[in-house]
Structure 1
Amino acid sequence: MHSTSSTSTSAPSSATRNIVDTAAANGSFKIFSNALRQSGLANTLKGNGPFTVLAPTDAAFGKLPPGQLDTWLKPENKDELAAVMNYHVLAGRSSAAEIGKLTAVKTINGQSAPIVMSGSRVRIGDAELTTPDIASSNGVLHGIDKVNIPTRH
């Protein structure tokens, strides 16, 4: 006998995975998942969190200038890649609706990213939030359509 319960847990299969495994299982975040591993951030994002990750889709990485991703993925550029990846991570668990109410968010790389709400669309930096609220056991993942690049000091 099957019971149809309307609990508020969305995507229970992904809610049991941490953010890194959720991104890897999604299929739209293959490049992001690889960059997390290469930057050393994957181990952090497998931790307790909670984290909010603004994950550029594979298509978003395709919008980078030619050769940019390959340059970041070189071992000698690990620090720069880590700075870019950390610019896509927020401390705490924030839904798309909560992010949309803000004017900026502080990323774990220390820089703030501006937020603009236009109708039902949420922009974070230069990216639009396209796939909101992907649940994970230690936070939430939001797909974005562009790689946000932090300013250099």
Structure 2
Amino acid sequence: MTTTRFTTTLAAATLLAGAAFADGHANPQVGGADMLAELNIVENAMNSPIHTTLVAAVSAAGLVETLSGEGPFTVFAPTDEAFAALPDGTVDTLLMEENLDQLTTILTCHVVGAEAFSDAIGGMIADDGGAHPVETLGGCTLTAEMDGEMITLTDEQGRVATVTVADVDQSNGVIHVIDAVLLPAM
């Protein structure tokens, strides 16, 4: 599937899903913190007590301005526990100056250049027979699938992340909290 088809399909699906979301859903809390729809992705991530590693990584990679921008973006946001599950020393190594390009690639493999609420993602999964390719701004292709009522994302290495908190509306997109760090193919 090309990025254009994904973005076009996503845009049409999210117009309907976004309107339905705005009409009847409150924004979920993340880590016990209120997530405010009038704040952008970076502002809300900074308020989340379970995304301190992600915020530090975004800052180190120089992505704060980008993810604070107009968007729209969909961010699959790994928790601190997800980063802690990586092999010992991985995060510290990625935060080193000489590894910032690799860190940027990993982080942007969690970002889609369109807004996609869970209803739209679920619809695309169903339309594609149970597995939908999701092209990211980092050049990775994730595979979105359903596991019961939960959305899962499989990266190019076969690692699976589950969306644990969906549809956190932002002024410039949406965040879906995930329980694993997604990695590009090596």
| Aligned residue-pair number | 147
Q: 1:14 maps to which residue?
A: 36
Q: In the TM superposition, what is the alpha-carbon distance from 1:97 to its structure 2 partner? A: 2.2
Q: Match for 1:138: what amino acid?
A: N
**Deviation digits for residues 80-123 of structure 1, max 9, x if unmatched?**
00000000000111012222333120000122101121210111
Say whether 1:122 aligns with 2:151: yes
Q: Is the 8 A contact 1:86 1:108 kept in 2?
A: yes
Q: In the TM superposition, what is the alpha-carbon distance from 1:7 to its structure 2 partner? A: 5.2
Q: Residues 5-84 of structure 1: matches in 2 within 5 Å?
A: 8=24, 10-11=26-27, 14-84=36-106
SS of the residue corresponding to residue 164 of structure 2 reads strand
Q: Is the 8 A contact 1:10 1:135 kept in 2?
A: no
Q: Is the 8 A contact 1:91 1:107 kept in 2?
A: yes
> In 2, distance between residues paired with 1:71 and 1:13?
30
Say whether 1:105 aligns with 2:134: yes
**Larger helix proportion, structure 1 or 2?**
2
**Deviation digits for residues 36-57 of structure 1, max 9, x if unmatched?**
1111111100000000000001
Tell me which stretches of 4 or more aligned residues in structure 1 moved more than 3 Å. 6-9
> In 1, distance between residues paired with 2:35 and 2:55?
18
Q: 1:136 maps to which residue?
A: 170
> In 2, distance between residues paired with 1:132 and 1:9?
12
Q: 1:89 maps to which residue?
A: 111
**Deviation digits for residues 1-27 of structure 1, max 9, x if unmatched?**
xxxxx9546339611111011111121
**Deviation digits for residues 119-140 of structure 1, max 9, x if unmatched?**
1011111101101111111000
SS of the residue corresponding to residue 15 of structure 1 reads coil
| TM score, norm. by length of structure 1 | 0.90
> In 2, distance between residues paired with 1:144 and 1:49?
20
| TM score, norm. by length of structure 2 | 0.74
> In 2, distance between residues paired with 1:65 and 1:142?
24
> In 2, distance between residues paired with 1:7 and 1:129?
22
SS of the residue corresponding to residue 64 of structure 2 reads helix
- In structure 2, stretches of 5+ residues that fail to align are 1-21, 28-33, 126-131, 155-159
> In 2, distance between residues paired with 1:18 and 1:30?
16
